[in-house]
Amino acid sequence: MFGIGMTSARARERLVKKLASQDLATTEVLDIMNEVPRHVFVDEAIAHRAYDDTVLPIGFQQTISQPTVVAMMSSAAASVENRSRILEIGTGCGYQTAILSRLFDEVYTIERIESLQLRARRTLANLEISNVTFKFADGHDGWPEHSPFNAVLGTASAEEVPAALSDQVALHGQLIMPVNDPLYVGQSLIQWECTSTGFVKRDLCGVRFVPMLKGVEATP
Residues assigned a catalytic role:
65
User: Are 219 and 114 within 8 A, CB to CB?
Assistant: yes
| Between 159 and 172, CB nearer to ligand SAH | 159
Q: In what order do the strands lie in the sheet with 149-154?
A: 132-136, 106-111, 85-89, 149-154, 169-181, 186-195, 198-207
The reply to whether 193 sits near ligand SAH by the rule CB under 6 A is: no
CA distances from 187 to 27, 45, 57, 138, 211 (A): 27, 30, 20, 21, 10
User: Are 59 and 118 within 8 A, CB to CB?
Assistant: no
- Count, in order, helices (H) and strands (E) of the chain: 6, 9
Could you give the CA distance from residue 118 to residue 204 in angstroms, rounded to a whole number? 31
The reply to whether 75 sits near ligand SAH by the rule CB under 6 A is: no
Stretch that binds ligand SAH, among 7-15, 21-29, 175-183, 209-217 (CB under 6 A): 209-217
Paired residues of 186 in beta bridges: 181
Q: How far is the CB of 157 from ligand SAH (least distance, A)?
A: 9
Could you give the CA distance from residue 85 to residue 100 in angstroms, rounded to a whole number? 10
Q: How far is the CB of 124 from ligand SAH (least distance, A)?
A: 12
Stretch that binds ligand SAH, among 74-82, 93-101, 121-129, 172-180 (CB under 6 A): 93-101
Site string for ligand SAH, 24-63 (x = CB under 6 A): ----------------------------------x---xx
Interface residue with ligand SAH among 25, 72, 116, 152 (CB under 6 A) is 116
The reply to whether 121 sits near ligand SAH by the rule CB under 6 A is: no
User: Are 142 and 167 within 8 A, CB to CB?
Assistant: yes
The reply to whether 108 sits near ligand SAH by the rule CB under 6 A is: no
The reply to whether 178 sits near ligand SAH by the rule CB under 6 A is: no
| Between 155 and 188, CB nearer to ligand SAH | 155
The reply to whether 67 sits near ligand SAH by the rule CB under 6 A is: no
User: Are 174 and 192 within 8 A, CB to CB?
Assistant: yes
Note the residues at the interface with ligand SAH (CB under 6 A): 58, 62-65, 89-90, 92-93, 95-96, 110-113, 116, 138-140, 155-156, 210, 212-213
